[in-house]
Amino acid sequence: MDTVITNWKKNFFTIWTGQAISQFSSSVLQFAVVWYLTDHTGSAMVLTAAMMMGFLPQGVLGPFIGVFIDRYNRKRIMIISDLLISAASFVMVLAGWMGRLSTELILVVLLARSVGSAFHNPCLQAVTPQIVPAGQLTRCAGYSQALESVSQILSPVVAAVLYSSWSLSGIISLDVIGALIAVITLGITQIPELQREGRDRNVQVLREAKEGLRILRAKKGMLGLVSIGSLYTLALMPTSALFPLMTMSYFNGTSTSASIVEVVFSAGLLVGSLILSKWGGTKNRVYTIVGSFLLMSFSLFVSGILPPDGFYVFILCSWLMGVSGPFYWGMYTPLLQSNFEARYLGRVLSLSSSIRLLSGPLGLIVSGIFAERYGVENWFLIAGVLVLAASVLCVAVPSVRICDEAGILINKKKSE
């Protein structure tokens, strides 16, 4: 274990490189699939079904998947997950070559890929503290956020170029290659094996999943922080989906205007990620989260009160929203990673992810009805109020405010 921590940069960036390639190819594929379904069906129901296939399995299965992540070799789980994602994509490649790429098959493949991601994503988050020193977790989260930002900026451009000149099967082939590269980088990375209690016992999924909830509740303030995170997701997930409508309907913009807003938002994400990776955040990471919430709330609220001719101010607000994002996500995950024992992280991270993901569909339903009746700009106001409420709760609830025991201790040791 000590050797692995000593070589943490080599191990982390080896995995990071493979994940960067795989994530970028998957993001390109995601855009291509949405455009393909739009071109071939023109159905909003199909697009909604595709979205549900993409994240529902991760939300529903998360608490149970965490049991297996904590019981078995995490490196093997990630490799098998990537191979499953690669195999599912390859099925679409074969179907495309045979001229049998149906909408139903695409939805089934999206479901299979989502199941693979439901294992892979929390497993990767659980592995990170095994190879990265506790004091470097936030900076590494900043690197990961920067990667995601670059992917969000470049992937629609690359997808547009490829979609206009390649078949969907060709684009899927690139994603298969990306997943295989991720498998190779995982295979050559040294990840220590955890000592697990009761490994010889039969798996009792429901009991052990309940134990994950007990572990999360036992750590003072952590369940409260996760619940506050779900409130943030409830406000933000539908807001991001309503960006094009806000631009084109309320501000009377064009599709080009909507693209500019998305690029500016992603550029803000990149700036915030780079600042976080350099700075590392406050000693108590909850305070950085509060700052992120306040900036996001301000940007949303200003966006909601702008007149229809205030598009350029909305662009600035979109950039500020992007800047604020990494200071939440880049703190939230390392905070969980460093405050729980490694052998419990699979269940804790999967459960927290499920709680967050399942609040998203509720937000989408409520925001859709609200925006139709009262105007999309007023949803931005409501979202700003909800995020402000989340920041107030972080400070007003003492157990949440001081829940980052590990972060405070790490920084105290640095200053001694």
User: Residue 299 belongs to a domain with what CATH number?
Assistant: 1.20.1250.20
Q: Is 199 part of a structural domain of the chain?
A: no
Q: Is 94 part of a structural domain of the chain?
A: yes
**Residue in 239, 362, 241, 252 with CA at minimum distance from that of residue 301:** 239
C-alpha radius of gyration, the chain, whole number? 21
Residue 250 is classified by DSSP as I
233 and 317 co-located in one domain: yes
Write out the chain's pLDDT in tens, 416 residues.
444 555 788 888 898 899 889 888 988 888 888 788 878 887 767 776 787 787 778 778 888 888 888 888 889 999 999 999 999 989 999 998 888 888 899 999 989 988 888 888 888 888 888 888 877 887 888 888 787 777 777 887 888 888 888 888 888 899 999 999 999 999 988 887 776 555 555 667 778 888 888 888 888 889 999 999 999 999 988 887 788 888 888 998 887 788 788 889 988 988 998 898 888 777 888 999 999 999 999 999 999 999 999 999 999 999 999 999 989 988 888 888 888 888 888 888 888 888 887 887 788 788 888 888 888 899 999 999 999 999 999 999 998 988 887 656 655 554 44
Q: Is 398 part of a structural domain of the chain?
A: yes
| 89-92-93-95 Cα dihedral, nearest 10 degrees | 160
229 and 179 co-located in one domain: no
Q: Is 154 part of a structural domain of the chain?
A: yes
Q: Is 205 part of a structural domain of the chain?
A: no
Q: 252 phi and psi, to 5 degrees?
A: 55, 40
Question: Quick one: pLDDT at residue 389?
Answer: 97
276 and 398 co-located in one domain: yes
What's the CA gap between 140 and 185, in Å, rounded? 17
What's the CA gap between 33 and 109, in Å, rounded? 11
Tokens matching residue 87:
């195999």
292 and 171 co-located in one domain: no
Question: Quick one: pLDDT at residue 414?
Answer: 46
Q: Is 373 part of a structural domain of the chain?
A: yes
What's the CA gap between 273 and 296, in Å, rounded? 15
Tokens matching residue 384:
């700003």
pTM for this model (two decimals): 0.78
What's the CA gap between 188 and 11, in Å, rounded? 9
243 and 142 co-located in one domain: no
319 and 400 co-located in one domain: yes
Q: 199 phi and psi, to 5 degrees?
A: -65, -25
Q: Is 209 part of a structural domain of the chain?
A: no
Angstrom CA distances, 247 to 318, 358, 392, stand at 11, 27, 29
231 and 183 co-located in one domain: no
Our count of domains for the chain comes to: 2
94 and 29 co-located in one domain: yes
Show the CA angle centred on residue 263, arms to residues 261 and 266, nearest 5°.
110
Angstrom CA distances, 126 to 41, 194, 259, 282, 408, stand at 39, 11, 35, 23, 21
Strands (E), 269-396: none
Is residue 395 within 8 Å of residue 290, measured between CB atoms?
yes
Angstrom CA distances, 70 to 164, 204, 319, 330, 347, stand at 44, 13, 38, 23, 7
What's the CA gap between 135 and 288, in Å, rounded? 16
237 and 379 co-located in one domain: yes
Is residue 331 within 8 Å of residue 404, measured between CB atoms?
no
Q: What's the domain range around 174?
A: 2-188
Q: Is 208 part of a structural domain of the chain?
A: no
